[in-house]
Chain A
Amino acid sequence: MSSKTANPIMHSAAWRISLWATLAFAIGTMLVFAMLHRFVANDIQRRSDAWLTGEVAVLGDVAGRTPKDRLYGRVVREVAELASREVPNKLRSNGNENDSVFFLQAGDSGSAKLWVGSGDGTANLAAIRSTRVLPDVPFDLRVQGFGSPFRVASVRIEDGSNIYLGLSEHDELHVLRNLRVRFFTLWVAIVLLGFVIVFYATWKMLGRVSEITEAASRIGQSDLSSRVPDTRGNDEIGHLARTLNHMLDRIESTVHQLHTITNSLAHDLRSPLTAIRGKLETVLASDVREDHAESIVSAIDELDRLTEFLNTSLDVAEARADALRLSRVEVDLDELVRGMIDLYEPSMNDKGIGIQIRSAGSVKVLADPALLHRVIANLLDNELKHLPVSCLVCVSLRADDHMATLTVEDNGPGFDAEIGRHLFERRVKGRASRGHGLGLAFVEAVVRVHGGSVTAVNRHEGGAQLTVTLPLCEVQKREEPHAFALLNG
């Protein structure tokens, strides 16, 4: 159990919901960014391609028209340098040294005819020659010695040589990298924030649900008059709470009806019984003949048995319908059982029956002591009435696994096989029994109302064994604050 409760947050539904929601949110935003990134990258490329093709066309035009004299190189170089100052996406960072643009005029073979740019251009020419170039379409070019690739546009001029204009993609990549870094930081922040918000919201929401569950189970256990809190909201949880309360209203009214019926039945029968008994006693007090007195006494006895039967059968009926009123307090079963045995031991010894108790000490349960007294009295009465001479009754009490277990066993003849299965039904009794057959039905009903169970078996080695379990006190105490502690966090 301790491993399950070690980290209650990690095992809550709110935690799982938040994890999944955050995952979905993270993937979704990542996809949106990937699309945006792609769009931005394409757009930047399109702009630089447009600039490159425009400029290279101008340069081709200039190169074509300029006479091929000594000034040719200077003119074209001037124009190329001018063009490089209008580079798009330019960050103007690395001083005057302009290594982001190069201009190259070269034939299909041989060295460069004209070179404008940093370095001597041989590496660029070699890279161009080793790349398969489609005419009029800008292409990417990796040049040895440069960190970033170049975007290159080319044009063929009349003298058969090619003019290449290259633009470093350094700035473009820098912009995109910046975009990615910023996005990623923002993304992490948003995902974390989203997780916190979703977790908080579901935690609150599910907290209301567990509050309702807690209240409902408390109502189920003890009093029917209280109601589930949190009926204000107009959301699903508010509906749930109101529906539960509505159901409780109906249950309460049914139980109340049962109380009314049993109470009026009891009242209507008891008043005449009281009157009859009183009159018989009054007659008995006056001078009557011995034989008349005898029959009056036996009539009184019969009346008392009738009363006891009436009481017990109404108790059983109410207990079966979960309508028995309990006034629960902390009861030490060990003390209670020892008290009962003190009461019963002399009678048992008189009949030649031995009784012993095995108990390791105090076993606390939350129960109605008056009803428990009657339950144990019933069990011991049973032994006293049905056991033959020189048998032994052993009462053992132990606490394990949140339950108190009380076992009453004997080495007598055991239960009749034919009634074994119906032992806890009303009016079932052995043929030799003089009782009203309600004893064990009462025991079972009362124990069940307390959240326990009763089993009866015949032992292998002979004799009957009756086992009563009742929930221990500590368990009920521990559960309640635990559930609420989670909600308020």
Chain B
Amino acid sequence: MQLLLVEDELEIQRFLKQSLTDAGYEVDTATDGRAAAELASGKRYDVLIVDLGLPDQDGIDLILKLRQSGVSSPVLILSARRSVDDRVKGLEQGGDDYLTKPFALAELLARLRNLLRRNLAASEEASRLRVLDLELDFIRRRASRGGEVLNLSPQEFVLLEYLCRHAGRVVTRSMLLSEVWGMRIQPDTNVVDVHIYRLRGKVDIEGREPLIKTLRGIGYVLKDR
């Protein structure tokens, strides 16, 4: 997987490149918009990671320029700005994503995988989804484990669906909040965890292998093997 990292702060660039390489990506770096445009025109990247505060131009202008010149790879925007610009929101609707600094590396990696997957299989219109012995029926909105129907609330079904669609990958609390509940908030209470505990109580029934794992300080993962 080829990534282009556009970030002018060398400290940040260095540790990001390190972590991304450790995670198995091939990373090219650029410190300004001009260099980034040159790199992007010469090679096809799977994801671009773009910081908004570049020395020579605004990150959004760079993204729009790249889009115009035919670069269609998804973009993960990094922003040190506080309020999220309407233009960024516009990009988000186009399938791109954004993270405000400072962010958790796990969050970055999770969102990155999310973008890559979205890019590979944009349409996910199957009526059923299987993860190990867990089966989701989207038409009847029903989940079952090993043939045994689970008694889930509609909210819990949506939560489980999200975990299943991202099976084997980390999902963070803020990903769950924005994707499942549709709100970008950072509650300083354990509201998301309680939902997961309840779901776990229903999915990981006695005598079966626990599927929903907690990664401390990062988020959750639904095992797929």
The interface of chain A, by Cβ under 8 A from chain B, is 262-263, 266-267, 270-279, 281-282, 285, 297, 300-301, 303, 305, 307-308, 311, 314-315, 324-325, 327, 339-340, 342-344, 346-347, 350, 370, 373-374, 377, 381, 384-385, 435
Q: Given A327-B86, A374-B185, is A297 in contact with B217 using a C-beta cutoff of 8 Å?
A: yes
Q: Is the CB of B189 within 8 A of A381?
A: yes
Q: Could you say which of B18, B86, B104, B187 has the most chain A C-beta atoms within 10 Å of its C-beta?
A: B187
Q: Is the CB of B101 within 8 A of A270?
A: yes
Give a binary string over B75-114; 1 marks a CB under 8 Å from any A CB, 0 the rest: 0000011111010010000000000111111100000000
Cβ distance B27 to chain A, nearest Cβ, rounded Å? 14
In the bound complex, residues from chain A placing their C-beta under 8 Å from that of B86 are 327
Q: Could you say which of B9, B19, B155, B194 has the most chain A C-beta atoms within 10 Å of its C-beta?
A: B194
11 A-B residue pairings within 8 Å (CB atoms): A263-B82, A271-B12, A274-B12, A277-B105, A278-B16, A278-B19, A297-B217, A339-B182, A346-B195, A370-B183, A370-B184
Other than A282-B18, A301-B217, give 14 A-B pairs with Cβ distance below 8 A: A267-B53, A270-B100, A271-B9, A275-B11, A278-B19, A278-B105, A282-B15, A303-B102, A308-B186, A327-B86, A346-B191, A350-B194, A373-B185, A435-B188
Q: Given A274-B12, A279-B15, is A381 in contact with B183 using a C-beta cutoff of 8 Å?
A: no
In the bound complex, residues from chain A placing their C-beta under 8 Å from that of B82 are 262-263, 266, 311, 314-315
In the bound complex, residues from chain B placing their C-beta under 8 Å from that of A370 are 84, 183-184
Q: Is the CB of B189 within 8 A of A347?
A: yes
The interface of chain B, by Cβ under 8 A from chain A, is 9, 11-12, 15-16, 18-19, 22, 53, 80-84, 86, 89, 100-106, 155, 177, 181-192, 194-195, 198, 216-217
Distance, CA A308 to CA B9, complexed state (A): 22
Q: Given A271-B12, A274-B12, A281-B19, is A327 in contact with B81 using a C-beta cutoff of 8 Å?
A: no
In the bound complex, residues from chain B placing their C-beta under 8 Å from that of A327 are 86, 89
In the bound complex, residues from chain A placing their C-beta under 8 Å from that of B81 are 263, 266-267
Q: Is the CB of A274 within 8 A of B102?
A: yes
Distance, CA A385 to CA B187, complexed state (A): 11
Q: Given A274-B102, A347-B194, is A267 in contact with B80 using a C-beta cutoff of 8 Å?
A: yes
Cβ distance A291 to chain B, nearest Cβ, rounded Å? 15
B153: nearest chain-A partner, CB-CB:
A342
In the bound complex, residues from chain B placing their C-beta under 8 Å from that of A281 are 19, 104-106
Q: Is the CB of A282 within 8 A of B12?
A: no
Cβ distance A385 to chain B, nearest Cβ, rounded Å? 6
Cβ distance A306 to chain B, nearest Cβ, rounded Å? 9
Partner of A381, one of B18, B188, B217: B188
Distance, CA A5 to CA B197, complexed state (A): 58
Distance, CA A303 to CA B104, complexed state (A): 11
Q: Is the CB of A277 within 8 A of B102?
A: yes
Cβ distance B195 to chain A, nearest Cβ, rounded Å? 6
In the bound complex, residues from chain B placing their C-beta under 8 Å from that of A308 are 186, 188
Q: Given A279-B15, A314-B82, is A271 in contact with B101 using a C-beta cutoff of 8 Å?
A: yes
In the bound complex, residues from chain B placing their C-beta under 8 Å from that of A343 are 177, 181, 183, 191-192, 195
Q: Is the CB of B184 within 8 A of A373?
A: yes
In the bound complex, residues from chain B placing their C-beta under 8 Å from that of A278 are 12, 15-16, 19, 102, 105
Partner of A384, one of B103, B104, B189: B189
Distance, CA A54 to CA B31, complexed state (A): 118
In the bound complex, residues from chain B placing their C-beta under 8 Å from that of A297 are 216-217
Q: Is the CB of B80 within 8 A of A277?
A: no
Q: Is the CB of B15 within 8 A of A344?
A: no
Distance, CA A374 to CA B188, complexed state (A): 11
In the bound complex, residues from chain A placing their C-beta under 8 Å from that of B89 are 327
Q: Is the CB of A282 within 8 A of B183?
A: no
A436: nearest chain-B partner, CB-CB:
B188
Q: Given A300-B217, A308-B186, A377-B185, is A275 in contact with B15 using a C-beta cutoff of 8 Å?
A: yes
Q: Is the CB of A275 within 8 A of B217?
A: no
A340: nearest chain-B partner, CB-CB:
B183
Q: Is the CB of A273 within 8 A of B187?
A: no
